[in-house]
Structure 1
Amino acid sequence: MHGANLGTLLRTADAVGACLAVPKLPWVPEALARGNTLRRPTCVHWTGDQLTWLARQRDTGTQVVGVELTDESVRLADLPAARRRTVVVLGHEQTGIPPGGLDLLDVAVEIPMVGTGSSLNVAVAGSLVLYRLSGLL
């Protein structure tokens, strides 16, 4: 993920009252600091091993929503607002969510497109889903 995408996602998460969960890779703290244009402290959770963290979240009753095109994906417009704690999983813009992550999803959501591109920028896709889940759209 490009560092600018993290700043965009951080601001979107703040706008809908959510937290951002990210792995503590060497470049991530600096990218977050550079992209954070908010005037107050932000809510960031450090995940460590992503699949282990995600499995723990699911085991505690958190709903796990992945932004991914699968045979069972629901359209973004059909995704209901979250009624319980929810984690949104965003995959790599080119390779998507890895198979181990797909196995942990409760629901996959697709964002329909009519143009010639095959996917949206990860920050744009994540922002759309966060707003939909928040009930603000």
Structure 2
Amino acid sequence: MRKLSHSELLKIRKKESVLNQFERHPISIILSNVRSLYNVGSMFRTCDSGFVSELILTGFTPYPPRKEIEKTALGAVDTVPWKYFPNISDAIEYQRNKGFHIAALEITDNAINYDKLERENFPLCIIAGNELTGVDNAVLELCDFSIEIPMYGVKHSLNVSIASGIALYSSIRQWHIYNNT
């Protein structure tokens, strides 16, 4: 086994000029009141690698152009379709109008395990909340369901960009299973 060189990676990487020729995964992410510019930048990179439909930033979540976002996004701001909505309810309505099912990434009393999504849960919009308080209760009321990542340690949380990445990639895996791709 050997690690691929930078030049080898460049040969297999999609070119920005042809991205619109590929179908994106039917998954979008909403970040709700995320404080950290670095978490936002990390989510741009994660959404680029997952080839999501869209990243939506809401509330006081910072949005480009910001050098701190660019530092961790490494150019993904230019490759991920994104929007900013001051009000999350407008973002949820926007996604619903596009046919997306809305899921909060949150520990709730009836959450679905993150790896137990069904075919009918797609297209899927995952809402990730604030680093300290999670998804607001008022936002939970606007969601169709919630998904959670089991916690086995003392702390009952992951970093928002880490949790979102886990949920995103599990959703992508399940989408491919249901679509045999």
Deviation at 1:24? 7.2
* Matched-pair identity in %: 25
| Corresponding residue for residue 91 of structure 2 | 53
Q: Structure 1 regions of 5+ residues with no counterpart? A: none
2:136 corresponds to 1:102: no
| Corresponding residue for residue 4 of structure 1 | 38
Cα distance in structure 1, aligned partners of 2:73 and 2:86: 21
- 8 Å contact 1:82–1:133 — kept in the other structure? no
2:56 corresponds to 1:21: yes
Structure 2 length as normaliser, TM-score? 0.66
Name which one, 1 or 2, has greater alpha-carbon Rg: 2
Cα distance in structure 2, aligned partners of 1:124 and 1:83: 22
- 8 Å contact 2:44–2:77 — kept in the other structure? no
Match for residue 171 of structure 2 among 119, 127, 133: 133
How many correspondences in the alignment? 137
Deviation at 1:101? 0.9
Per mean C-alpha deviation after superposition, the further-off stretch among 96-105 and 121-130 is 96-105
- 8 Å contact 1:58–1:104 — kept in the other structure? no
Deviation at 1:105? 1.1
Cα distance in structure 2, aligned partners of 1:26 and 1:65: 19
Deviation at 1:86? 2.1
SS across alignment from 1:22 = strand
Per mean C-alpha deviation after superposition, the further-off stretch among 119-128 and 35-44 is 35-44
Calculate the aligned-residue CA RMSD, in Å.
Answer: 2.5
Structure 1 length as normaliser, TM-score? 0.84
Match for residue 37 of structure 1 among 74, 91, 98: 74
Deviation at 1:7? 1.4
Inter-CA distance 67–134: structure 2 relative to 1 (3 Å threshold): same
Cα distance in structure 1, aligned partners of 2:61 and 2:47: 22
Cα distance in structure 2, aligned partners of 1:26 and 1:68: 18
Q: Structure 2 regions of 5+ residues with no counterpart? A: 1-34, 177-181
Deviation at 1:26? 8.2
Deviation at 1:60? 4.1
SS across alignment from 1:77 = coil
